[in-house]
């Protein structure tokens, strides 16, 4: 069977292909050329998807790459808010999310309505919203931030009163580093990061006593406190370069990151911080997309991300304001 012979299922039916992985990859490669599409894979995606992508990285970096790419279509292998960010930065391109089940509980923890209610209690505060949020929430915010630039963004603001949303762990970490400002933090969290405790990391460390511990700032305080480096997924790739002599690293973030690290640094060892091959550091939403979803996404041009113009304008303003902030680390 070739890509053109595949029959689209009736409405409500699951798309399914019996093609083996190698054939799916062949068909994906054919389709991406035919459709002038760029395939993006977040660092937390399954390894076969990371391996076939044109670009791998964090959500904002990928959206910026896609905006600069000479492509008509973007297939974003990640979660829903990430594909929205790509659409916000490339409103004239078609953006597709291969699996509609790829949501994000952290992004869903705040809605435009709950943000408005919260803002009403703090009328003098400036709203800083982590990019792990819906486009509508971004559009209601003063400025966005990533886990890489959150501290610089908060420092850059004229205001000393900040509402930080939606991640309470990232917000607490930012507040600790910018003590001169009042940072009121929303009570959302990424369940994949929030489940990890220092005790699990210590158990892993007992097997790798010399390991460098690298943690994502979405982790809880007890984990961040014992880490040697605290950074975004892109920051982790740079952090490893600081330790050319280190034999092993304990990685406290979603386990998809281990694949990127092992590819880039094949002579060093990377282990999941929960000590059980990353079984708890597993985001079900990030892992829901597989090769056949990418194939059907290209073949049937689904599931297209559409956003109201007003939302695009508001969210883009918050993202561009963030992108104009110089990094101070």
Interface contacts to ligand CIZ, rule CB under 6 A:
42, 58-59, 131-132, 146-147, 216, 232-234
List, in order, residues 6 or more apart from 255 with CB less than 8 Å away.
Answer: 44, 272, 277, 278, 279, 281, 282
- Dihedral of CA 305/308/310/311: which sign? negative
| Token pair listed for 268 | 């060093």
Give the shortest CB-232-to-ligand CIZ separation in angstroms: 3
Q: Which residue's CB is nearer to ligand CIZ, number 132 or number 268?
A: 132
225 exposed, middle or buried (CB, 10 Å; 0-12, 13-18, 19+)? exposed
- Dihedral of CA 307/90/111/281: which sign? positive
Q: Which residue's CB is nearer to ligand CIZ, number 134 or number 233?
A: 233
Give the shortest CB-253-to-ligand CIZ separation in angstroms: 7
Q: Which residue's CB is nearer to ligand CIZ, number 15 or number 265?
A: 265
Q: Which residue's CB is nearer to ligand CIZ, number 261 or number 299?
A: 261
Q: Which residue's CB is nearer to ligand CIZ, number 147 or number 204?
A: 147
Give the shortest CB-59-to-ligand CIZ separation in angstroms: 4
Give the shortest CB-260-to-ligand CIZ separation in angstroms: 10
Q: How far apart are the C-alpha atoms of 65 and 69, rounded to whole Å?
A: 6
Q: How far apart are the C-alpha atoms of 85 and 200, rounded to whole Å?
A: 34
**For the chain, how many residues are written?**
329
| Token pair listed for 273 | 């911080």
Q: Which residue's CB is nearer to ligand CIZ, number 285 or number 295?
A: 285
Q: How far apart are the C-alpha atoms of 302 and 6, rounded to whole Å?
A: 15
Give the shortest CB-58-to-ligand CIZ separation in angstroms: 3
Give the shortest CB-238-to-ligand CIZ separation in angstroms: 12
Q: Which residue's CB is nearer to ligand CIZ, number 24 or number 77?
A: 77
Helices (H), 79-179: 80-89, 105-108, 112-121, 135-139, 150-156, 168-177
Give the shortest CB-230-to-ligand CIZ separation in angstroms: 11
| Token pair listed for 159 | 């205001």
Indicate the residue whose CB is closest to ligand CIZ. 58
């Amino acid at each position: 069977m070739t890509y053109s012979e595949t029959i689209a299922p009736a409405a409500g039916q699951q798309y399914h292909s019996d093609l083996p992985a190698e054939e799916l990859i062949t068909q994906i490669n054919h389709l991406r050329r035919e459709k002038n599409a760029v395939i993006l894979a977040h660092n937390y995606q399954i390894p076969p998807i990371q391996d076939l992508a044109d670009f791998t990285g964090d959500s904002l970096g990928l959206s910026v790459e896609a905006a600069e790419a000479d492509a008509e279509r973007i297939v974003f292998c990640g979660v829903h808010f990430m594909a929205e960010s790509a659409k916000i930065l490339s409103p004239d391109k078609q953006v597709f999310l291969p699996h509609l089940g790829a949501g994000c509980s952290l992004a869903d923890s705040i809605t435009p309505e709950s943000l408005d209610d919260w803002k009403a209690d703090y009328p003098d505060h400036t709203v800083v919203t982590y990019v792990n949020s819906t486009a509508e929430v971004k559009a209601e915010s003063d400025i966005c931030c990533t886990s890489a630039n959150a501290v610089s963004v908060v420092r850059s603001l004229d205001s000393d009163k900040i509402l930080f949303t939606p991640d309470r762990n990232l917000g607490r970490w930012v507040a600790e580093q910018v003590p001169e400002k009042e940072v009121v933090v929303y009570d959302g969290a990424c369940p994949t990061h929030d489940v990890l405790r220092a005790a699990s990391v210590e158990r892993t460390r007992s097997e790798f006593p010399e390991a460098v511990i690298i943690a994502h700032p979405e982790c809880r305080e007890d984990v961040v406190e014992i880490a040697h480096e605290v950074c975004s997924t892109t920051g982790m790739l740079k952090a490893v370069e600081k330790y050319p002599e280190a034999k092993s690293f304990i990685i406290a973030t979603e386990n998809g990151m281990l694949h990127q690290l092992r590819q880039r640094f094949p002579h060093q060892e990377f282990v999941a911080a929960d000590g059980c091959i990353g079984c708890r550091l597993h985001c079900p939403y990030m892992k829901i997309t597989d090769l056949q979803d990418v194939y059907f996404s290209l073949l049937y041009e689904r599931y297209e991300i559409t956003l109201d113009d007003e939302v695009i304008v508001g969210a883009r303003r918050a993202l561009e304001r963030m992108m104009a902030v110089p990094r101070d680390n």
